Amino acid sequence: MLDQEQFLQVLDRDEADRRFRAAIHLTPRGIETVPLDKALGRVLSAHVVSPVDVPFFDRSNVDGFAVVAQDTFGASEEAPRRVQLVEQQIHTGVVPTAVVESGKAALIATGGMLPRGADAVVMVEHADVSGRQLLIRRAVTAGNGISFAGTDITAGETVLRRGRLLTSRDTGVLAAIGVDHVHVWRKPVVAIVSTGDEIIAPGAPMQQAKVYDSNAQVLADAVRELGGEPKRFGIVSDTIDALRERLSQALDVADMVLLSGGTSKGAGDVSYRVVAELRDPGIVAHGVALKPGKPICLAATGGRAVFVLPGFPTSAIFTFHEFVAPVIRMLAGRGPEESAIVPARLAVKVNSEIGRTEYLLVGLVETGGEPPLAAYPMGQGSGSVTTFSRADGFATIGRHEEIVEAGSVIQVQLLGRELQLADLVVIGSHCIALDYLLGELQRQGLRSKFLAVGSTAGLEAAKRGECDAAGIHLLDLKSGEYNGPFLTPALELIHGYGRLQGIVFRPGDQRFEGRTAQEAVAQAAADPSCIMVNRNQGSGTRALIDRMLAGARPRGYAVQPRNHNAVAAAVAQGRADWGMTLDTIARAAGLGFLPVQAERYDFVVPLARAHRPGVVALKTLLAQASTHEALVRLGMKP
């Protein structure tokens, strides 16, 4: 009768996993720098901050004519508006010298740089040229046909965060900001050893009582899919000396070792005997209450994992995904994956163009309703490189649909294999300090999603329970207080930090130097040659601007970038003469600054979501002294 030992102890799956993880190192295996063309599928080990604005300049999205939008008002096929064409024709790659004033227009190519003074582009199909005159047959509004500089990505913006698994969408973003090398986590090396006298390699002639080694191929490809680097050590016969030598070779070069076969503790299986010789600590579990996969052996030595997987393919694959895959992901710096079609309720109304099928990129947030997801459009512009990178999926709008109403249930095709909902969803106003906070939470292993929709829309999203937190800075004119007066009984306020808003201008501009903000704005609003850059409707900053303007609509009022950095970029580059942004951003851009309002940027949280781990982690982070110090360095006032 065979001398067959018994399992050391059959453990509960969670207990086996707990013991095993306590014995191994679960941090990524080091950092390396790779060229961009080798970065696909790698995991970032550091945040990527854009060194440039994207677009770098205001550019035309169509072939047409750069105009002053007001000159087109009232234009129609029967009654075209007439303006004079300037001499210069603006092609791509050319910096325009012409200035487009009221009554003027300039021919411009798709991708051409918008000339100073112009605030819209009329498509070539909607106008006719007669000598030096342009007959405009369709009215346009300010911003029509234009991608404004910095509205996609702004210099200094964190475009990709540490821990990001780089897809082709992400490498496109990196290329768009001029990055040619990235810092990534080194791929963990996973040694694969097949054991057993019955195993032969694929391609060899089949023999009686033999089986082809399929496990090694399955495991190697699974390791690659998870971000590891498989290193195959071939087939080893069931002899202790041979296997001991091969295991020693594997441990010399690998971060983890997989032995396929030899766990059943039969007389011919020697893998567990060799692994039992390991120390620090050696075997931590041999036998786990799983079906299939009971005979798996989990061991560790010097912080490195050693697995002895069952020989039967089904058991080997099951136990691999149950125990091995999560460890490889951690060593590779990866998180879980994505895919499929899910129903979601559209958060806002979407207009489409009759006659064309449209693919609407959306971000998905959990609501707890039915269906349990809300879809926020990520933008419909074809020129944006970040939208596709940050979207969760897309919905198809049929060519006969002109409007999809808010609240409609849509089918969302995920851009990955499965949906990964964020641990913390923040909707509302953008802030550079918020970028820092979300980056710190990402470092703690919490996935976050941020949708920049402005303070007012963020507050409404919180009221509807569509986010974990809304970042807002809304001033109540009656009380003079920020944010608190806007709460309902179903919301709570998490105190964030203070910051200073003000008017920015280029140093030396005598229209602003030495004046108060109110004096400067009043003079600028009365000067047709003084161009402003506004902020998006619904933002707290826009509310401050409108209060100062008291109904005035100076030139540039209709230009509405979504964040503070874009305002500073517009003024610094001379596309506008003034705007409102934060003092810290003004200093970084080398701009003059006139204080307007010390304000509070706080977080509004639905009480129904206050217990969620992401919200708790945000509260904890905000309360830490190290966070206060970091916020002060960013120019904030905790």
pLDDT in tens, 591-631: 999 999 999 999 999 999 999 999 999 999 999 999 999 99
Cα-based distances in Å from 565 to 586, 630, 635: 9, 19, 14
Residues 547-563: what's their mean pLDDT? 90
Residue 388: pLDDT band with limits 50, 70, 90: low
* 501-538: pLDDT as tens digits: 999 999 999 999 999 999 999 999 999 999 999 998 87
**Of residues 351, 556, 374, 372, the one with CA closest to residue 457:** 374
Q: Determine the pLDDT at residue 2.
A: 33
User: CB of 591 within 8 A of CB of 546?
Assistant: no
What length is written for the chain?
Answer: 638
Whether the per-residue pLDDT at 322 is higher than 50: the answer is yes
* CB distance 497 to 627 below 8 Å: no
Would you state the pLDDT for residue 492? 96
Mean pLDDT of the chain: 88
Check whether 201 has a pLDDT greater than 80. no
- The answer to whether the CB of 118 falls within 8 A of the CB of 67 is yes
Instruction: Note the pLDDT of residue 390.
Output: 76
Residue 571 pLDDT greater than 90, yes or no:
yes
Confidence grade of residue 195 (pLDDT, cut at 50, 70, 90)? confident
Peptide bond into 115 cis (omega under 30): no
Q: How many helices (H) and strands (E) does the chain have?
A: 16, 36
H runs (alpha helix) in 403-511: 432-443, 455-463
Q: Provide the pLDDT for residue 348.
A: 81
Whether residue 436 is predicted with pLDDT greater than 50 in this model: the reply is: yes
Q: Report the predicted TM-score, pTM, of the whole model to 2 decimal places.
A: 0.61
- How many whole angstroms separate alpha carbon 630 and alpha carbon 636? 9
Choice between 264 and 621, residue whose per-residue pLDDT is larger = 621
Of 273 and 44, the one with more pLDDT: 44
Tokens 């990001």 correspond to: 164
Going through 303-372 in order, the beta strands assigned E by DSSP cover 304-309, 341-346, 350-351, 358-366
State residue 218's pLDDT score.
83
293 with 218: CB under 8 angstroms? no
- How does residue 293 score in pLDDT terms, banded at 50, 70 and 90? low
The count of other CB atoms within 10 Å of the CB of residue 575 is 19
In this predicted model, which residue has the larger pLDDT, 13 or 323?
Answer: 323
pLDDT digit string, tens, across residues 117-159? 999 999 999 999 999 999 999 999 999 999 998 888 888 899 9
pLDDT of residue 306: 93
Give the residue from 522, 635, 524 showing the smallest Cα distance to 589: 635
For residue 340, pLDDT over 90 is answered with: no
Domains parsed from the chain with CATH numbers: 13-27+187-331 (3.40.980.10), 35-53+153-185 (3.90.105.10), 59-147 (2.170.190.11), 341-414 (2.40.340.10), 424-638 (3.40.190.290)
* 558, 69 Cβ separation under 8 angstroms: yes
Q: What's the one-letter identity of residue 212?
A: Y
Task: Please report where in the chains the tokens 């030598």 appear, as a residue.
Answer: 245
193 token code pair: 């050893």
**Model pLDDT for residues 107-117, shown as the tens digit of each residue:** 999 999 999 99
Ranked by mean pLDDT, which of 284-288, 354-358, 453-457, 480-484 comes out on top? 480-484
Instruction: State the burial class of residue 478 (Cβ atoms within 10 Å of its Cβ: 0-12, 13-18, 19+).
Output: exposed
C-alpha 281/C-alpha 86 separation (Å) is 80
Residues near 637 by beta carbon (within 8 Å), at least 6 away in sequence: 497, 498, 499, 598, 631
- In this structure, of 2-11, 368-377, 422-431, the range with the lowest mean pLDDT score is 2-11
Q: Distance (Å, rounded) from C-alpha 263 to C-alpha 261?
A: 6
The average pLDDT across 168-175 equals 93
Question: DSSP code of 43?
Answer: B
